[in-house]
């Protein structure tokens, strides 16, 4: 059997129509997007939203489709590989109390979508980690599209590799001991500055 090449995704407009038996239906791709990802507070969607926020802050071309299978989440125009983590005090579901903020920082084996092979050695594949906290704590007014509702913590991978308490997760309190929070308009500068710490 001949191997099948990787399919490269292209940017869609949302106006694309679903079809059945060679006939256009009334449903568009935008309908699917609205139905499937309108809950931007949910864990899965919030993670992608955090990636989008950092992408816009670092001038990444958002007209190129997000790479689902890359060993890191984003790469900046100047070649810095980023891992994006997100957390929120508030969730879509009922809560008795605010959620505790912590992030997974586990080493991972990379699966290469071009070869369908998994790397043998787990590691951190990004140069810099950006920890995105949806800090707003009022369910009546929270809006993940409002960048003022977020704060961001940036660490070089080298700093995480040297983190002594755990190599599996890190809490917000621990992050605050290693770095300061920045607002949206300072994310890019913080990434560049932190990236310098990776150098010998």
Strands 128-134 and 81-88: parallel
- Tokens 């699966």 label which residue? 111
Cβ contacts of residue 15 below 8 Å, gap of 6+?
A: 28, 29, 30
CA distance 162 to 152: 21
Q: How confident is the model at residue 112 (pLDDT cuts 50, 70, 90)?
A: low
Pair of tokens at residue 91: 């969730």
Sequence-distant (≥ 6) Cβ neighbours of residue 91 within 8 angstroms:
41, 42, 43, 99
* pLDDT greater than 70 at residue 113: no
Domain boundaries, the chain: 39-198
Q: What is the band of 105 on the pLDDT scale with cuts at 50, 70, 90?
A: very high
pLDDT tens column, 30-81: 999 999 999 999 988 999 999 999 999 999 999 999 988 889 999 999 999 9
Residue 1, pLDDT > 60, answer no
68 or 109, which is more confident?
Answer: 68
Give me the mean pLDDT over the 79-94 stretch. 96
Question: What are the pLDDT digits (tens) for 121-139?
Answer: 777 889 999 999 999 999 9
């Amino acid at each position: 059997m001949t191997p099948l090449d990787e399919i490269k995704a292209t940017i869609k407009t949302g106006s694309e129509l679903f079809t059945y038996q060679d006939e256009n239906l009334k449903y568009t791709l935008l309908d699917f997007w609205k139905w499937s990802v309108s809950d931007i507070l949910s864990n899965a969607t919030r993670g992608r939203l955090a990636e989008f926020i950092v992408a816009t802050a670092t001038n990444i071309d958002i007209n190129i489709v997000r790479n689902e299978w890359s060993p890191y989440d984003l790469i900046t125009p100047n070649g810095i590989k980023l891992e994006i983590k997100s957390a929120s005090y508030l969730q879509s579901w009922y809560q008795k109390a605010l959620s505790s903020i912590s992030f997974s920082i586990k080493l991972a084996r990379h699966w290469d979508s071009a070869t369908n092979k998994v790397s043998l050695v787990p590691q951190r594949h990004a140069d810099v980690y950006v920890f995105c906290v949806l800090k707003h704590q009022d369910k009546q007014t929270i809006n993940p599209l409002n960048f003022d509702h977020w704060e961001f913590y940036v660490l070089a991978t080298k700093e995480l590799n040297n983190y002594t308490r755990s190599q599996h997760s890190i809490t917000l309190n621990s992050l605050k001991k290693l770095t300061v929070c920045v607002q949206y308009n300072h994310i890019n500068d913080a990434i560049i500055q932190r990236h310098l710490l990776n150098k010998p």
